[in-house]
Structure 1
Amino acid sequence: MGSGQVTSTSELFDFQGKHVTVAGLGVSGVPAAKVLHARGAVVTVVNDGDDARAREQAAELRALGITVRLGDGATLPEGTELIVTAPGWKPDKPLFLAAGKAGVPVWGDVELAWRLRGPDAAPWLAVTGTNGKTTTVQMLASILEAAGLRTAAVGNIGVSLLDAVLGEERYDVLAVELSSYQLHWAPSLRAHSATVLNLAPDHLDWHGSMEAYARDKGRIYEGNKVACVYNVADKATEDLVREADVEEGCRAVGFTLGTPGPSQLGVVDGILVDRAFVENRQKNAQELAEVSDVNPPAPHNIANALAAAALARAFGVPATAVRDGLRAFRPDAHRIAHVADIDGVAYIDDSKATNTHAAEASLASYEPIVWIAGGLAKGATFDELVARSAKRLRGAVLIGADRALIRDALARHAPEVPVVDLDRTDTGAMLQAVTEAKRLARPGDTVLLAPACASMDMFTNYNQRGDAFAAAVRELDA
C-alpha cells in the first residue's frame, strides 16, 4: 500500500463558458446536461440512438438552449474542452479515441458529482466489487442510520450522486455504490474509506481484459484517508490495496468468514467481531453482532455485512449501531429471496445472480439443489462454477440463449446430474422450467433460480425474470 501526501484534485471547477460535450442521454446524461448548462457551460449532447424516447429527451434539453445531436455519438464536436459520459459508453468508442488524440479529458457522472461537491461536503464511504455491492451499501446505510447519522445509499443505486451532492438535504456521510464503469471515468475520486468486495471475470467485453477490469475496480482505493477494506478470501482485492496510493496513516483492513487476525473483522462462534478498530488489536476484539442478525445469513451475505461494518467502524460508528443496523436491514427483491415451500421443497429466487461468481455464492448456500440457470453469458465460462458446485446438485433446468455453455460444463464436470434443456427463450419458458424443477426435486431440496447469466435474451431485466419465477412457483402451488 503506497503512502504519501495525496493532493486533492477535486477543487471546484469553473464551467462558465466551457464547451462541454455530454455523451449519452438517459438517466445520467440528461441531469448532467442540465447541471452543466445551469453553471454556464456551452453544452452539446451527442447520442447514438434516435428513437422516440431520445427525441422526447432532446426536445426537453433543446427548450433550455442545449444543443442535441441524435444518431451521431461518434464525432467529437468542434471546440470540445471536456466530455462528460454516461458510465456505460465503452472506452474504445470513436468519440473517446478522438478525445484522447485532442487531449480532451473524459469524466463520468461520478467524477462530475465529485467535482461539484461543496467545501463542507459529506465524506464518501465507497463500495465496489463484482457482486454484493448493492446489498453492502444498503447494509452500510442502515448501520449509519442506526448511529444517528444523516446518510443515503447513492451512486449506482438509489439517489443519484448529482442529486445527493447538489440537493438541499445535508448529509453527514454518503454510502456510495460504484460500478467498474463509473470508476473508470472517475480519476479524481478520493473516498474516506472504501472496499472492493471481490473480483471475478465480468464486463470483460467492456474493459477488454481482466487486468483492466481489476485496475478500474482498484481506483476506489486511490487517496483513501482512513481504511482500505479488502476480502481476505480474495487475494486480488488485497493486491489492489497494496498498489493503491493512499493518504498517510490509511490502514488496510481485512474481512473474513473465519477467525479474524489483527486489523481484521471476522466470525467467532457465531459472532461478528472487530479486531481492527479497537485498542490493542493484537489482544482485543469487539463483539459487533450475531450471525443471526444478518438477513439472510448466507455465507456471502455475512461477508457483505462484515465489509459494511468495517466501513462504518472506519467512520467511527459504535458497535451497537452495527448490530441495530444489520437487524433493521431488509434485502431487495430477487436476492436469495424465499418464495415458497411446496411439498417440502424450498423455492429460492436469486435472479440477481447474473454472473458465475454470484451464482457460485448462491449455490454454496443450499444443498441439495435443483438449479435453474441460463441466459446471456456475456463471455463467461462455466467449468469452474459447475466443478465447484457439482456435489450440491440434484438436477439442473437450463433456459436462455447461452444455455448450451452450461449444459456442456455439466456434461464435463457433473455427468451424473440430470439436465433438462429447454429449447425456448420466450418468457413462458419460466413456468415450464419451474414445473420441470419440481419434477426433479425431492422433499428437503431447494429449487434455486441462480442463472449465472444476464436476463436480456428473455426478459427486460433480472427483476422481471425473478418475478416470472415467483409467479410460476405460485401457479404451481395454486
Structure 2
Amino acid sequence: MGSQEVSSTVDWQGKHVTVAGLGVSGIPAARALHERGALVTVVNDGDDERARAQAAELEALGITVRLGDGATLPPSTELVVTAPGWQPDKPLFLAAAEAGVPVWGDVELAWRLRGDNGRKPAPWLAVTGTNGKTTTVRMLASILEAAGLRTAAVGNIGVSLLDAVLGETEYDVLAVELSSYQLHWAPSPRAHSAAVLNLAPDHLDWHGSMAAYAADKGRVYEGNTVACVYNAADPATEDLVREADVEEGCRAIGFTLGAPGPSQLGVVDGILVDRAFVANRQKQAQELAEVTDVNPPAPHNIANALAAAALARAFGVEPAAVRDGLRAFRPDAHRIEHVADIGEVRYVDDSKATNTHATEASLAAYDSIVWIAGGLAKGATFDELVAGAAKRLRGVVLIGADRALIREALTRHAPEVPVVDLDRTDTGAMSEAVARAAELARPGDTVLLAPACASMDMFTNYNKRGEAFADAVRARADESA
C-alpha cells in the first residue's frame, strides 16, 4: 500500500487524550486508547440516561467521563480524538488549536492503530460522495466476498473502523465508507483505491462553504496507489483527482452511464463493461454484468454499481465475481424500496433521500410521480430540483418544517402541478400524506417518498420516517385487499 506508516511507533503510555463524544466511534476509541495505557478523558455534550449508562461502563474501566460539558478542553490534553459529527468551530477545537493540540477523527485513529495487533494491515478501498456511499460500499463488499476475499463494509456505514482494524478477524481488504466529516479530521489515511461518487451542496452549515466541503471529500484520493475512481458525469469529481497527490502509477478511472472510453467503465446495450482494467483498453472491453443484475436498476444505482466494480477491478477481482456480487446484493431499507402496489399505483420509500441531489436521482427513476417531500432543509434550495422534475410530477404532498421552501419552488417552476400542503409536523402526518397522495395518483403512477430534507423535525431519523410511510402504505393495502 505504498509509503504508509503504522502507529506502532506511537507510545500511548501516560499520554493525555481527550475523546470528544460518546457513541459509535467515541466508545471504541476510548477503550482502545485506555488499553494502550493512555490517560483518557471523554467529554460529551449530552447528559441523558443513555449517556450516563455509557459513562458508567467506561468509568468502571478507569476512564474519566465528563458529561454535559463538551466545550472545555481538559488540562494537560496532548491529543483530541473526536466523533466525526462535531463541528470544527466548537470551542473545544478552538481551544485545542490555540494550545497546539492536534485533533484526530475516528478514521485517523483507526489508520494510526492498524497493524497495532501485530498483523499486516488490510488495504482500504474507500468511497465518499454526497449520495450513494452506503449502497456502493455494500455492493463493493458483496463483490469482494464473491471473489472469495475476507472483507467487511465499515466506516460511516455504522460498523466502527476501529473495531475492524483491531478485531480478531484478519481481513484481506476493507470496503470503507467515509463521510466528509470523517475525512475532515483524517489527514493521514492512504487508500489502495478510492472513489468520489458525486458532489452536490450538502452539510454546508458544517463545512462553511462548497469549496471546503469538496476539499474534504477530495482527501479520499490523497496517496492512492492504484486507482482514483471518478464520475464522468460530474466534472467536479475529476477535478479532485487532478488536484490529488497520489503515488506514482496511480490511474484516473472514470465511470459513466454511457459507452465508456479508454480507462472507463460504462454501459453498452444493457451490459456493464470495463475498458480500464483490460490488456488493450484502446480496443477491448470486458463484460462484467447486465444492467438487470443491479438491484434496483435505477440510473443512479447503476452508477453506484459501476463505481463499486471499478474499485473491485482495481483490486484485481475477476469479472465473474463482479456479476455474482451484484446479483447477491440487496439494498438497505429506505433506499428506493418498493413497499406495495395498490390499485395499479406503486408506492416507493426513499426516505434516505435527505438532500436535493439524492432526490433528483430518485425522481429520475420514474415517469409519473406523486411526490411526498419536506422536512428540515439544512440550508438547501429547491428551484433546480423542481425545475428538472416538473414534467414527471402528477402531484406533490408537502410535510415538515421547511415545506414552504419547496412549495415556493413549485409555484415558480411547476405552477400547474397540484400541491397538498399539510400544515402539521407530528408523526401522524405521514398517514395523511399517504392518503392524500393516493387521491392524486392514477394507475401507472408512483407515489414516492423522497423528502429532499432531513427528518429530525418530525422523526428520530430517516429510518423512522421511512417506517411511518411503509406502515401507512401497508395499512391502505390491507384496507383495499
Same topology, TM > 0.5: yes
Partner of 2:104, secondary structure, is strand
Task: Tell me the residue number matched to 1:453.
Answer: 453
Q: Give the distance between the partners of 1:6 and 1:287, measured in 2 at CA.
A: 30
Task: Tell me the residue number matched to 2:201.
Answer: 201
Matches for 1:246-285 after TM superposition, within 5 Å: 246-285=246-285
What per-residue deviation string (whole Å, max 9, x for no partner) do you get for residues 302-338 of structure 1? 0000000000000000000000000000001111011
Q: Give the distance between the partners of 2:387 and 2:2, measured in 1 at CA.
A: 44
Please report how far the alpha carbon of residue 147 of structure 1 lies from its aligned counterpart in structure 2 after TM superposition.
0.4
Q: Give the distance between the partners of 1:300 and 1:33, measured in 2 at CA.
A: 38
Task: Tell me the residue number matched to 1:322.
Answer: 322
Q: Which stretch shows the higher mean deviation, 93-102 or 155-164?
A: 155-164
Please report how far the alpha carbon of residue 411 of structure 1 lies from its aligned counterpart in structure 2 after TM superposition.
0.2
Q: Give the distance between the partners of 1:73 and 1:210, measured in 2 at CA.
A: 27
Would you say 1:218 and 2:237 are equivalent positions? no
What per-residue deviation string (whole Å, max 9, x for no partner) do you get for residues 370-397 of structure 1? 0000001011000000011101001000
RMSD between aligned alpha carbons? 1.1
What TM-score do the two structures reach when normalised by structure 1? 0.98
Q: Give the distance between the partners of 2:160 and 2:306, measured in 1 at CA.
A: 25
Task: Tell me the residue number matched to 2:394.
Answer: 394
Task: Tell me the residue number matched to 2:413.
Answer: 413
Task: Tell me the residue number matched to 2:439.
Answer: 439
Would you say 1:8 and 2:40 are equivalent positions? no
Task: Tell me the residue number matched to 1:292.
Answer: 292
CA contact (8 A) 2:124 2:173 kept: yes
What per-residue deviation string (whole Å, max 9, x for no partner) do you get for residues 110-159 of structure 1? 11111111151110000000000000000000000000000011111143
Q: Which stretch shows the higher mean deviation, 18-27 or 127-136?
A: 18-27
Task: Tell me the residue number matched to 1:368.
Answer: 368
Would you say 1:80 and 2:84 are equivalent positions? no
Task: Tell me the residue number matched to 1:428.
Answer: 428
CA contact (8 A) 1:199 1:214 kept: yes
Please report how far the alpha carbon of residue 366 of structure 1 lies from its aligned counterpart in structure 2 after TM superposition.
0.2
What per-residue deviation string (whole Å, max 9, x for no partner) do you get for residues 417-458 of structure 1? 000000001111111111111111111111100000011111
Please report how far the alpha carbon of residue 28 of structure 1 lies from its aligned counterpart in structure 2 after TM superposition.
1.3
Q: Which stretch shows the higher mean deviation, 141-150 or 115-124?
A: 115-124
Matches for 1:347-362 after TM superposition, within 5 Å: 347-362=347-362
CA contact (8 A) 1:10 1:188 kept: no
What per-residue deviation string (whole Å, max 9, x for no partner) do you get for residues 235-259 of structure 1? 0000000000000100000000001
Q: How many equivalent residue pairs?
A: 474
Identity fraction in percent? 85
Task: Tell me the residue number matched to 1:49.
Answer: 46
Match of 2:113 among 93, 111, 116: 116
Q: Give the distance between the partners of 1:278 and 1:72, measured in 2 at CA.
A: 56
Q: Give the distance between the partners of 1:470 and 1:412, measured in 2 at CA.
A: 31
CA contact (8 A) 2:2 2:225 kept: no
CA contact (8 A) 1:6 1:245 kept: no
Would you say 1:98 and 2:92 are equivalent positions? no
CA contact (8 A) 1:339 1:349 kept: yes
Partner of 1:27, secondary structure, is coil
Q: 1:142 to 1:6 in 2, by over 3 A?
A: closer
Q: Give the distance between the partners of 1:94 and 1:75, measured in 2 at CA.
A: 7
What TM-score do the two structures reach when normalised by structure 2? 0.97
Structure 2 residue runs of 5 or longer lacking an equivalent are none
CA contact (8 A) 2:143 2:322 kept: yes
Please report how far the alpha carbon of residue 230 of structure 1 lies from its aligned counterpart in structure 2 after TM superposition.
0.2
Letter in 2 for 1:154: V
Structure 1 residue runs of 5 or longer lacking an equivalent are none
Task: Tell me the residue number matched to 1:61.
Answer: 58
Partner of 1:26, secondary structure, is coil
Letter in 2 for 1:8: Q
Task: Tell me the residue number matched to 1:29.
Answer: 26
Q: Give the distance between the partners of 1:472 and 1:47, measured in 2 at CA.
A: 37
Q: Give the distance between the partners of 1:159 and 1:49, measured in 2 at CA.
A: 22
Q: Give the distance between the partners of 1:467 and 1:29, measured in 2 at CA.
A: 28
Please report how far the alpha carbon of residue 59 of structure 1 lies from its aligned counterpart in structure 2 after TM superposition.
1.6
Matches for 1:144-163 after TM superposition, within 5 Å: 144-163=144-163
Match of 1:39 among 36, 39, 64: 36
CA contact (8 A) 1:255 1:264 kept: yes
Please report how far the alpha carbon of residue 11 of structure 1 lies from its aligned counterpart in structure 2 after TM superposition.
3.6
Please report how far the alpha carbon of residue 7 of structure 1 lies from its aligned counterpart in structure 2 after TM superposition.
4.5
Q: Give the distance between the partners of 1:61 and 1:444, measured in 2 at CA.
A: 55
Partner of 1:63, secondary structure, is helix
CA contact (8 A) 2:271 2:287 kept: yes
